[in-house]
Amino acid sequence: MAQFVLDQLCKHFPEAVEETSAVHGNETAYIKRDAILEVAKYLRDDAALCFDMPIDCTALDWQDQKPQRFEVVYHIYSTTLKHRLRLKIRLDEKDIETPALTQIWKGMNWHERECWDMYGVVFTGHPKLKRILLYEEFEGFPLRKDYPVEGRQPLIEMRDTATVPTEKEITPEMLNRP
C-alpha cells in the first residue's frame, strides 16, 4: 500500500521517526514532537508523496502509561496518488503540547479544536484554540480516562423530578383513560 511512504520517511528523517508499523494496510509512523512540522511539510510538498488532504486528528489516553500518557493521531491522504498514512506523536502528561498542523493543512483546524476540547491537548500555533463542541463554562476534558462518567456540569438550575411518579405509583386515574 503505502510502504513506499514509510521508506521515504525513514530515509529523509532517520532521527525523527521513532518507529513504523503496517497492519492490514494501515501504515503508521511514530514521529518525534519537535520534528512533526518539518515532516508534515515534507509529506505535503514532496511530489512523490503529495499528501494534500487532512482526514482526522484525535488523541489516545493510555492512562497507565507514564509519563508518555497521551498520543495524538493524525490521518492524512493523497487524493492524487491515492495513499494514506497515520502519524502518531507521543506526549508527556506534564508537557501536553504539540505544534498545530493547521499551519500545514488548513482543514485540520476544527479537528484540532475538537482534540483540545475533549483531551486538552494544546496545539501551539493554532489560530483559534477554543472549545468547539462543549460550552465555554465547561471545566476539564471529558474524554480523558480520569474524568468521571457522570461529571455533569449543567448550565441552568435543574428541576427537581423527585415528585414525578414512578411506574409503580401510577394509578388509572392519573392516566385519565376514558
Partner 1 sequence: MSETALLESEIIVTRRESAEGWLRDAIENFGQKGVNWSRKYSLFSYPFVTACCGMEFMSVSGPRYDIAQYGAEFPRFSPRQADLIWIVGTISQKQAPVLKRVWEQMCEPKWGIAFGACASTGGFYDNYTTVQGADMVIPIDVYIPGCPPRPEQVLDGLRLLQNKIKTESGRVMV
Instruction: Tell me the closest approach of the beta carbon of residue 14 to partner 1, in angstroms.
Output: 44
Toward partner 1, which CB reaches closer, 161 or 171?
161
Instruction: Tell me the closest approach of the beta carbon of residue 28 to partner 1, in angstroms.
Output: 30
Identity of the amino acid at 56: D
Yes or no: say if 48 and 40 are a contact pair by the CB < 8 Å rule: no
| Total Cβ atoms within 10 A of residue 131 | 15
Phi, psi (deg, nearest 5) at residue 7: -60, -45
- How many residues are given for the chain? 178
Toward partner 1, which CB reaches closer, 24 or 135?
135
Instruction: Tell me the closest approach of the beta carbon of residue 26 to partner 1, in angstroms.
Output: 29
Toward partner 1, which CB reaches closer, 47 or 175?
175
Instruction: Tell me the closest approach of the beta carbon of residue 138 to partner 1, in angstroms.
Output: 8
Instruction: Tell me the closest approach of the beta carbon of residue 150 to partner 1, in angstroms.
Output: 7
Residues 6 or more apart from 1 whose CB is under 8 A from it?
Answer: 22, 25, 27, 83
How far is it, in rounded angstroms, from Cα 151 to Cα 60?
A: 20
Give the residue from 84, 91, 102, 133 showing the smallest Cα distance to 37.
102
How far is it, in rounded angstroms, from Cα 20 to Cα 29?
A: 4
Residues that bind partner 1 (CB under 8 A): 134-135, 142, 147-156, 158-159, 161, 164, 175-178
